[in-house]
């Protein structure tokens, strides 16, 4: 068996009768399963079933991007429930045939091995993984509103046990190579330097001993009981149901996954059938459709031409998708944000120069980064070699001169216009004429900084969210003077960091903070009206938010929120009580978690009871509110007060061209704030309610609570005309193949 008769595979047999199957998707830089790939792999497996000479099959990727990204999501989105069931049956049958081959099979995993890719690897008898920062093994289907469908809910628990498998299936948790080895998911691990020799050695060992035992993790009595006895498995599944009860109300894929796993613990054949049934049922749920749309929006945001004033073809830009003209960056300010950005950039192989105002602060910034990298290496989240290499790419200085040769500067100093203007004047003096100058400000005017520079066309914003290593979104801010070339370069840079860009205009709060603050502000208005802190946060969580607005304020810092409230004064109405209460809390030193006191009390990392607000509310009177009937929207009174201002401000941002299209608002709010993903985003949720109902309820809230609830002009227009913010059957993926209809 030898040849290149396949479009997406190369198959070679060496003189030891080792058959290597190289996966190399012909039209993508990342391997995915589509109809052609499955058909070709089916034929390869058929040939292997008839092969009496082959002694070992090695499956690996010829793409540097990784092993396999999983199934083609655009294809999944096009299928009906019946077609999905057929596709699942085919995939399950294919992987079962691989698992039943008499020839030993070895999956060689370097880079991402996700979804269907991990299910393929699980169907192989043996697995070896490369210890690198890019290698991740996981089943992320739950994040698309579905479950693994090609045997993942069955083979993963069989391989690693229920207690280790469930977090991967129910949370979409991804593991690095060392963690995968630790739980028994892979049999061997090797670093990049020894990768080739380690793979060769594993092949050699399997040729000598074809029935080599898999790597087994020594099990304690407790874990053995939970993973290998019927009553133990029932206990684990019961605990999983209890632990996920709140999320299950919004994410039907979670209980569906538990049911599929449970069926497999009773009878293997029933488990595979249950997996197909549950997946097919989920594909038509609103939660799945919304989460699939978010996936496509994410991909669209990562396409450079999406953000161009005169877009060229996507193909032209996808060919150099990871290319950036930026190689060396400067960071001015080594506080939490500056250090976080520097660390991320260094891990992505950019050279970084940190500028601080003193040697003491420069050293403190370097220590902050070193401590974070060391902790990541010790915990196994990052290979030691990668941590050391990243640290080697960073230097710190208290002089301006070392910034002369950088391609990009990111300013991350204190949020004061005068300080930032001074920094930009210095940068203009020092940085080479081609260098791009940006600010990480969350709310201040980029135009003011451009005015302080000698190159306004090369000034823009790069607003990272905290914590930098976790938050996927970066707002790329285009001032009126920013050139399109610079916007393109910044978008490419954000992509190279592994983040998702949203390009916004230079307006107070940009997109995310501007849309978020009316929601946070209304929570404070409710406090002033006497609503309990815990009630407000509980209602937000029940809506689907990851945390309540007052919890969020404590996390961010009330001092930061107070500053932002001042910069947003020009776009927010009826804001006096909010600013007054925040100001009073900041004056008292109640600034949230970092001070131990905010809307809640804190003891170290542990949150305590809510802080009594009555002492701060003297002189603040709650209005007498008439009761008005509301159009049906599925929300409680408290949820309506919180969410409607957010929807209204989202429409205001569209109306004022902060971003160009509705999907950009939705994606930004999901990635930047955690807005309930299963609802698709604030504008998708508004469409789900119906704009006529939203407008009617907004007007009622305006009568009850004031002018801040006045509906946006475009909202009233949508209600009057029955219009939509999303084009029917719109190609929301940006790839010209998938069509999603709203259910």
Neighbours of 724 (CB within 10 A): 14
Strands 436-439 and 408-411: parallel
The verdict on whether 395 is a catalytic residue reads no
Taken as a whole, the chain contains a residue count of: 743
Q: How far is CA 525 from CA 533, 539, 574, in A?
A: 11, 15, 10
Catalytic residue among 275, 278, 356, 475: 475
Phi, psi of 691 (to 5 degrees): -65, -30
Q: State the residue for tokens 């401000």.
A: 649
Cα angle, residue 237 at apex, residues 234 and 239 outer, rounded to 5°: 110
3-state DSSP helix/strand/coil percent for the chain, to nearest 5?
50, 15, 35
- Is the previous residue joined to 499 through a cis bond, with omega within 30 degrees of 0? no
Catalytic residue among 513, 648, 684, 697: 513
Helices marked H in 50-176: 73-78, 81-99, 116-123, 152-160, 162-171
What's the rounded Cα separation, in Å, for the pair 44 and 46?
5
The verdict on whether 428 is a catalytic residue reads no
CB 10 within 8 A of CB 31: no
Burial of 242: CB neighbours in 10 Å, binned 0-12, 13-18, 19+: exposed
CB 726 within 8 A of CB 687: yes
Residues 6+ apart with CB under 8 A from 423: 332, 411, 413
Which residues are paired to 462 by β-bridges? 476
The verdict on whether 475 is a catalytic residue reads yes
Q: Which residues of 617-650 are buried (b: 16+ CB within 10 A; e: fewer)?
A: beebeeeeeeeeeeeebebeebbbbbbbbbbbbb
Catalytic residue among 176, 248, 442, 697: 442
Establish how many alpha carbons lie within 13 A of residue 199's alpha carbon, considering only the half-sphere containing its beta carbon.
20
Q: 253 by DSSP, 3-state: which? A: helix
Catalytic residue among 8, 25, 63, 463: 463
What's the rounded Cα separation, in Å, for the pair 628 and 632?
13
3-state secondary structure 459-493: EEEEEECCCCCCCCEEEEEECCCCCHHHHHHHHHH
- Extract the tokens encoding 314: 């996507």
H or E stretch at 302: none
Q: How far is CA 145 from CA 152, 276, 294, 677, in A?
A: 15, 14, 11, 10
Q: CA torsion, points 23, 26, 31, 37, in degrees to nearest 10?
A: -70
3-state secondary structure 575-639: CHHHHHHHHHHHHCCCCEHHHCECCEEEECCEEEEECCCHHHCCCCCCCCCCCCCCCCCCCCHHH
CB 498 within 8 A of CB 487: no
* Helices 336-347 and 384-392: angle between axes, nearest 10 degrees: 110
Report which of 78, 72, 70, 74 is spatially closest to residue 95, judged by C-alpha positions.
70
Cα Rg of the chain, angstroms? 27
Residues 6+ apart with CB under 8 A from 741: 728, 729
**Sign of the torsion angle spanned by Cα atoms 382, 384, 386, 392:** positive
The verdict on whether 25 is a catalytic residue reads no
What's the rounded Cα separation, in Å, for the pair 471 and 586?
26
Q: How far is CA 471 from CA 36, 98, 210, 348, 375, in A?
A: 35, 38, 45, 16, 19
Which residues are paired to 57 by β-bridges? 19, 105
Residues carrying an active site annotation? 442, 463, 475, 513
């Amino acid at each position: 068996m030898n040849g290149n008769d396949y479009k997406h595979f190369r198959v070679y047999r060496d003189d030891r009768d080792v058959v290597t199957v190289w996966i190399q998707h012909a039209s993508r830089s990342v391997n995915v399963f589509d109809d052609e790939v499955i058909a070709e792999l089916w034929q390869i497996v058929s040939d292997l079933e008839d092969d009496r000479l082959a002694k070992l099959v090695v499956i690996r990727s010829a793409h540097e991007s990784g092993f396999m990204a999983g199934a083609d999501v655009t294809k999944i989105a096009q299928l009906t429930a019946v077609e999905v069931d057929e596709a699942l049956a085919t995939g399950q049958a294919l992987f079962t045939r691989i698992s039943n081959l008499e020839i030993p099979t070895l999956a060689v995993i370097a880079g991402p091995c996700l979804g269907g890719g991990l299910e393929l690897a699980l169907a192989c008898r043996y697995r070896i993984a490369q210890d690198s920062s890019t290698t991740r093994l996981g089943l992320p289907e739950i994040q698309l509103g579905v479950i693994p469908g090609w045997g993942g809910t069955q083979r993963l628990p069989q391989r690693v046990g229920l207690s280790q498998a469930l977090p991967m299936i129910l949370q979409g948790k991804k593991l690095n190579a060392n963690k995968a080895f630790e739980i028994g998911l892979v049999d061997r691990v090797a670093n990049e330097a020894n990768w080739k020799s380690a793979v060769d050695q594993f092949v050699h060992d399997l040729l000598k001993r074809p029935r080599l035992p898999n790597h087994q993790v020594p099990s304690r009595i407790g874990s053995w009981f939970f993973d290998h006895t019927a009553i133990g498995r029932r206990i684990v599944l019961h605990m999983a149901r209890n632990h996920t009860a709140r999320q299950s109300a919004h994410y039907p894929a979670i209980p569906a996954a538990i049911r599929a796993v449970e069926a497999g613990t009773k009878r293997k054949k029933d488990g595979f059938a249950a997996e197909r049934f549950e997946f097919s049922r989920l594909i038509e749920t609103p939660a799945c459709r919304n989460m699939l749309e978010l996936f496509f929006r994410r991909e669209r945001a990562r396409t450079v031409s999406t953000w161009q004033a005169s877009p060229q073809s996507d193909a032209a830009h996808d060919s150099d998708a990871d290319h950036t003209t930026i190689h060396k960056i400067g960071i001015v300010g080594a506080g939490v944000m500056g250090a976080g950005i520097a660390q991320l950039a260094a891990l992505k192989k950019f050279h970084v120069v940190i500028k601080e105002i003193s040697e003491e602060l420069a050293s403190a910034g370097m220590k902050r980064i070193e401590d974070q990298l060391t902790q990541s290496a010790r915990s196994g989240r990052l290979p030691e070699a990668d941590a050391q290499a990243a640290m080697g790419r960073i230097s710190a200085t208290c002089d301006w001169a070392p910034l002369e040769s950088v391609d990009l500067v990111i300013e991350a100093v204190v949020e004061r216009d005068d300080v930032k203007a001074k920094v930009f004047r210095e940068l203009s003096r020092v940085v080479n004429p081609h260098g791009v100058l940006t600010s990480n400000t969350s709310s201040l005017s980029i135009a003011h900084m451009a005015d302080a520079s000698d190159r306004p066309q090369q000034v823009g914003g790069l607003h990272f969210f905290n914590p930098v290593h976790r938050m996927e979104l970066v707002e790329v801010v285009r001032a009126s003077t920013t050139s399109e070339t610079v916007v393109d370069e910044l978008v490419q840079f954000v992509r190279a960091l592994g983040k998702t860009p949203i390009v916004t205009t230079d307006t107070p709060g940009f997109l995310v903070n501007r849309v978020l603050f009316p929601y946070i502000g209304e929570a404070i208005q409710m406090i002033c009206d006497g609503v309990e802190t815990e009630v407000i946060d509980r209602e937000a969580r029940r809506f689907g938010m990851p945390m309540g607005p007052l919890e969020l304020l404590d996390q961010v810092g009330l001092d930061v929120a107070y500053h932002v409230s001042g910069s947003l004064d020009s776009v927010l109405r009826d804001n006096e009580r909010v600013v007054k209460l925040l100001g009073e809390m900041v004056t008292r030193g109640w600034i949230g978690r970092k001070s131990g006191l905010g809307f809640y009390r804190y003891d170290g990392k542990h949150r305590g009871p809510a802080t009594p607000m009555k002492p701060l509310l003297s002189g603040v009177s709650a209005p007498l509110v008439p009761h008005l009937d509301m159009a049906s929207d599925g929300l409680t009174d408290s949820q309506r007060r919180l969410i409607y201002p957010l929807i209204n401000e989202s429409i205001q941002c569209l109306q004022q061209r902060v971003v160009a299209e509705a999907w950009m608002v939705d994606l930004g709010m999901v990635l930047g704030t955690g807005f309930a993903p299963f609802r698709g985003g604030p504008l998708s949720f508004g469409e789900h309610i119906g704009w006529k109902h939203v407008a009617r309820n907004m007007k009622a809230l305006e009568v009850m609570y004031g002018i801040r609830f006045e509906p946006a002009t475009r909202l009233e227009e949508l209600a009057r005309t029955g219009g939509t913010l999303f084009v029917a059957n719109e190609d929301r993926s940006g790839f010209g193949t998938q069509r999603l209809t709203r259910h």
